[in-house]
Amino acid sequence: MSDAHAVLVAELRAHALVIGDVVLTSGATAKYYVDAKRAILRPAGFRALGELVAERVRGWDATAVGGMTMGADPVACAALAGGAQVKGFFVRKEAKGHGLHRRIEGPVLDPGDRCVVVEDVVTTGGSTIAAIEALQEAELEIAGVVAVLDRLAGGAQRIEAAAGAPYVALTTIDEVYPDRPDRPAAG
């Protein structure tokens, strides 16, 4: 485990894990919630995240990094701060109704740009897949997908199928909350 990975897990455990009944974006209910922004918008979490995401972006020879606003916003910014020499972008749920009427915000992405799609927390993968589809509609290539934390609820497989590219979770719920009540028994 790299130092940055260890720091990210510790920051998520200390600041992002909320125990109690919550409704997830997917509509499902859970006994815990991971509000990753509570950890990654702190100096140590942001630095660790930036190092880890920038490393993936470089490894996939990407030229752009971003995803669905708001989950992807701090992750993309951390990659840039971590030294990734790429364009950052944010995908809106729908095109803006004024100004330039853009759905993909940030520097103009050109045909041939290789995009890394990022997300803070993945459960079903719905938000990430919506960002992937917006990029594909714009005829951009998906180089890979990075999640800060995967809740291990099936989203990874759905994302990989939609992206046609590798998916990497920097951490999983098993690392951050190993004693969670819904953890499958070891078999």
Residue 126 labeled ligand binder: yes
d(CA 168, CA 56): 9
pLDDT digits (tens, 9 = 90+) for 97-150: 667 678 999 999 999 899 999 999 999 999 999 999 999 999 999 999 999 999
Q: Which CATH class is domain 49-176?
A: alpha beta
| pTM of the full structure | 0.93
Q: What are the residue ranges spanned by the domains of the chain?
A: 49-176
Q: Higher pLDDT residue, 96 or 72?
A: 72
Residue 83 labeled ligand binder: no
Cβ neighbours of 181 (radius 10 Å) = 9
Residue 96 labeled ligand binder: yes
Q: Which residue has the tokens 């290539």?
A: 141
